[in-house]
Amino acid sequence: MNKRIAAVTATACMLFASVMIPAVSAEGTTDIGAQNQVKAVAYSDALDKLDYKGIRVGGLSGLTWDKTADSYVAQSDNHGSDESRVWFLGKDLHNPSITRDPVTFTDVNGTPYNGNTTDNEGIAVLPDGDFAISSEGIPPAGKNQAEHPTIRIFDASGRSSNRWVSTRYRD
């Protein structure tokens, strides 16, 4: 299976799961009928309003395991001029901490993406360590949207590989 198909499949699964997973109780379990396969593994607000080397950590919206980095990674849901980043949270989600400098996502020319140029929501780490990042697009909404919902592939350093999939609205 090529990387584009894998990225689209992974992101589609993330999007499907985000719609289909019900709320989680304070005890960390959820009732999804006979399946009962979803469990919250941890909760922590240790990163809330954290300042890391002059960068505010916040707006984390995507979370996954990165076996290449041997760490959980979280994607920032950037806004305004905040740069789009992935943060490395270590192995323990009960006590997360920033374990290394974040990776900033850039276009092929090295210009960082930010909240004015993309609205990243989901993250998947591909087998080779590349990141598949889904964006819900940039307003104005509708068929004249500045950026349509997109899945971009970035290498481990954060540079866009110029491989992406865009979803255009249909009338």
* pLDDT confidence bin for 63, thresholds 50/70/90: very high
Residue 22 reports pLDDT greater than 50:
no
pLDDT digits (tens, 9 = 90+) for 81-100: 889 999 999 999 999 999 99
Task: Output the pLDDT for position 13.
Answer: 45
- Euclidean distance between CA atoms 55 and 57, whole angstroms: 6
One-letter amino acid for residue 120 of the chain: N
The span from the CA of 7 to the CA of 144, in Å, is: 26
Lowest mean pLDDT among 7-21, 40-54, 109-123: 7-21
- 15, with CB counted inside 10 A (0-12, 13-18, 19+), is middle
Least confident of 46-60, 114-128, 137-151: 137-151
- Cα 133 from chain centre: 6
Task: Enumerate the H helices of 21-107 as residue ranges.
Answer: none
pLDDT above 90: residue 119: no
pTM of the model: 0.71
Q: Is the pLDDT of residue 17 over 70?
A: no
Give me the residues paired with residue 115 across strands: none
Distances (CA, A) of 27 to 31, 36, 42, 44, 164: 12, 14, 10, 14, 39
Question: What's the CA gap between 119 and 140, in Å, rounded?
Answer: 12
**CA dist., res. 122 & res. 116, Å (int):** 17
